[in-house]
Amino acid sequence: MERNHYEEHYVARVGWLRAAVLGANDGIVSTAALIVGVAAASDRSGVMLAGMAGLAAGALSMAAGEYVSVSSQADTEKADTERERAEIAADPQEELRALAGIYEDRGLSPDLALQVATALHAKDPLAAHLRDELGFSQHSEAKPLVAAGASALSFAVGAAMPMLAAALVPEASISLWVTVISLGFLALLGAVGAKAGGAPVLRGVVRVTFWGAVAMAVTAVVGHLFGAVV
């Protein structure tokens, strides 16, 4: 029988979507907050210099952080895979019974559960245990380089938005314009991220915009109180 049925689910995007949304959100919020804080105590050239430094440092920091974090996840997955492989080799019958027990807990009768576990063990026992016992899947597989690249690139793109606004708006009202424009970009990011992930758009927009506004407001207050770069 020919099988060509294919469905693309939102979970398939979770690996890159999480890193991209986090990077872009952090790029917009941290750079805009930095610019708003600096603008209270500096001219446009100082604002742009601080913004560029924040963009470079932030992108590298995001890439390094994502790489280390996701590499740790990958190391754990690899260790669990090797342990499961050794357990199957040492006592395949016990592992077969354990797999059948998992299917029984999910609602299959004991006979059917054993039949399914036996069929899967005959084909690829390691894959069956990784998927059904440990919960590994191709959608959640750790990919450090992909996560690091997506975070760094999205941070740089996000940070470039308030930087562009600061370069074009009147110097006397940089803080106001950067805040308004950045909140607009955050709302757009929240909508795009929610749409790509299959979540309610309004919830995504409100969540991202609210916390971005809080971060920029706090930084602006600090900048006005101390008249210094924060």
- 5 falls within a domain: no
- 203 falls within a domain: yes
What's the CA gap between 117 and 104, in Å, rounded?
10
Task: Band the pLDDT of 156: cuts 50, 70, 90.
Answer: very high
| Number of domains the chain contains | 1
Task: Band the pLDDT of 16: cuts 50, 70, 90.
Answer: low
pLDDT of residue 141: 63
- 49 falls within a domain: yes
Mean pLDDT of the residues in the chain? 81
With both helix axes pointing from N to C terminus, report the angle between 144-168 and 44-90 in degrees, rounded to the nearest 10: 170
Residue 214: Cβ within 10 Å count: 12
Whether pLDDT at 5 is above 60: no
- 129 falls within a domain: yes
Q: Tokens 């917009």 label which residue?
A: 28
Whether pLDDT at 229 is above 80: no
Whether pLDDT at 7 is above 60: no
pLDDT of residue 84: 86
Instruction: Express as a percent the part of the chain with pLDDT over 70.
Output: 83
pLDDT of residue 1: 42
Whether pLDDT at 39 is above 70: yes
pLDDT of residue 230: 44
What's the CA gap between 25 and 154, in Å, rounded?
8
Q: Are 24 and 63 in contact (CB under 8 A)?
A: no
Whether pLDDT at 46 is above 70: yes
Q: Which domain holds residue 55?
A: 10-226
- 3 falls within a domain: no
Task: Band the pLDDT of 160: cuts 50, 70, 90.
Answer: very high
Q: Which residues of 25-37 are buried (b: 16+ CB within 10 A; e: fewer)?
A: bbbbbbbbbbbbb
pLDDT of residue 6: 41
pTM here is 0.67
pLDDT of residue 15: 54
Mean pLDDT calculated for residue range 148-171: 89
- 2 falls within a domain: no
Lowest mean pLDDT among 8-17, 37-46, 75-84, 210-219: 8-17
Whether pLDDT at 228 is above 80: no
| Residue 126 CB-density burial (10 A; 0-12 exposed, 13-18 middle, 19+ buried) | middle
